[in-house]
Amino acid sequence: MLWRSRRVSRRAVAVLSALAFVGVGGSGPGYAPAAEPAPARPPDRCADESADAADAARGRIGRDVHDTRHYTTAERAAIERRTDRILARKNAAAGSQGDVQATEIRRIPVYFHVIRSKSGKGGVSNKRIDRQIKVLNRTYAGRESDAAANTSFRFDLKDRTRYRNTRWFNGNRSLKMRRITRQGGRRALNIWTLNLDVLGIATFPWQQADRPKLDGIRVHFRSVPGGSLTHYNRGKTATHESGHWLGLWHTFQGGCAAPGDHVGDTPAEATPSQGCPEGKDTCGSSGKDPIHNYMDYSYDTCYNQFTSGQNSRMNNMWAAYRA
């Protein structure tokens, strides 16, 4: 579902990784930053679920496969039509009309799974898990910028589980791993921390019904707050990936052409942002690029907002697929 990747640049530069999965970061008891230097190059923000195909086929997620999975314009249009139909049916049944209003707070139960190698690499402490949950709540509450929307979503940690499996830790057997470990129903957010080639990977809400045991987000263990991944260790990868899990596209989805990310108040942008390029403006009249939006690919320190339009979309997606 998402890649927060910087595909273009990475591929162009060859050094950057490609896309799709998100970050890298993490920590935990026994974690030794000195022994685990951060990758020399910036990680891809996220990966696409299509990586699972490669995962299944060769047992390993690779940089050359990931996020190549683009939803085509036709596929995205079909998703929008399907969502509209579901909402219309639900609203009719409920006797209401129009979009589901984003007025209520929706509390999402979170199941946090720490996947470590057999030697213990990849540990994430309880304290850092708690900090990650706080970051989710702070970012979804719009507390990082006056321009940020206070969204309807809050996150409650329900359970923490820990596994030692080197294959799982290295991103292999992801389908089996998720089927075995996932907890909760369709409204539950499962977060798995492990060692990825990208920062993170997410599933979309419209996939949930067909693949309920795979639903959730995977984030690099070094991307959690206090992790060792420079520029990506403030826990915002989980914010980004959960944005996909709630139905958001990247802000650069579709480039400058409408309908872009299907959100009216996020200016179109032609390319993913890297770092924090103030003033970046790739689509002329639509306004400056939304480099501070959690659904771009900027540094964690550059991120500070979702928009009200994104909040509405997340609420509609929730009503359609998770309510």
Select the span of 2-10, 60-68, 147-155, 208-216 touching Zn ion (CB under 5 A). 2-10
Residues 241-270 close enough to bind Zn ion by CB under 5 A = none
- For Zn ion, give the closer residue by CB, 165 or 233: 233
Q: Does 2 bind Zn ion (CB under 5 A)?
A: yes
- For Zn ion, give the closer residue by CB, 46 or 319: 46
**Are the beta carbons of 220 and 282 closer than 8 angstroms?**
no
Select the span of 40-48, 84-92, 155-163, 305-313 touching Zn ion (CB under 5 A). 40-48
- For Zn ion, give the closer residue by CB, 22 or 110: 22
Residues 6+ apart with CB under 8 A from 251: 260, 261, 263, 266, 267, 269, 289, 290, 293, 295, 296
Q: In one letter, which amino acid is 189?
A: L
Give the whole-angstrom CA distance, residue 245 versus residue 239: 10
- For Zn ion, give the closer residue by CB, 112 or 252: 252
Longest distance between any two alpha carbons in the chain, whole Å: 60
Q: Does 291 bind Zn ion (CB under 5 A)?
A: no
Contact characters 112-131, Zn ion, x per CB under 5 A: --------------------
> Among this protein's residues, is 241 annotated catalytic?
yes
What's the min distance (Å) between Cβ of 240 and Zn ion? 5
Which residue is catalytic, options 75, 241, 269, 278?
Answer: 241
What's the min distance (Å) between Cβ of 4 and Zn ion? 3
Token pair for 275: 């770092």
Concatenate the DSSP letters of all residues of 231-276 into one string: TS-SSHHHHHHHHHHTTPPPTTTTTTSTTTTS-TTS---SS---S-
What's the min distance (Å) between Cβ of 243 and Zn ion? 8
Select the span of 30-38, 44-52, 54-62, 147-155 touching Zn ion (CB under 5 A). 44-52
- For Zn ion, give the closer residue by CB, 132 or 165: 132
Dihedral angle, C-alpha 38, 201, 294, 289, nearest 10 °: 90
Query: Total number of residues binding Zn ion (CB under 5 A)?
Result: 3
What's the min distance (Å) between Cβ of 297 and Zn ion? 7
Q: Which residues pair with 198 in a beta bridge?
A: 44
Q: 145 — phi, psi (to 5°)?
A: -160, 150
The residue whose two tokens read 């650069």 is 252
Contact characters 6-35, Zn ion, x per CB under 5 A: ------------------------------
For 62-138, list the strands marked E by DSSP.
Answer: 106-116
Find the binder of Zn ion among 18, 24, 46, 314 (CB under 5 A): 46
What's the min distance (Å) between Cβ of 217 and Zn ion? 10
Sign of CA dihedral 139, 140, 143, 146: positive
Q: Does 234 bind Zn ion (CB under 5 A)?
A: no
Select the span of 38-46, 120-128, 187-195, 309-317 touching Zn ion (CB under 5 A). 38-46
The H or E element spanning position 157 is: strand 153-164
For 217, other C-beta atoms within 10 Å of its C-beta total 26
Rg (CA), the chain: 18
What's the min distance (Å) between Cβ of 5 and Zn ion? 7
Residues 166-225 close enough to bind Zn ion by CB under 5 A = none
Contact residues for Zn ion, defined by CB under 5 A: 2, 4, 46
Q: Which residues carry out catalysis?
A: 241
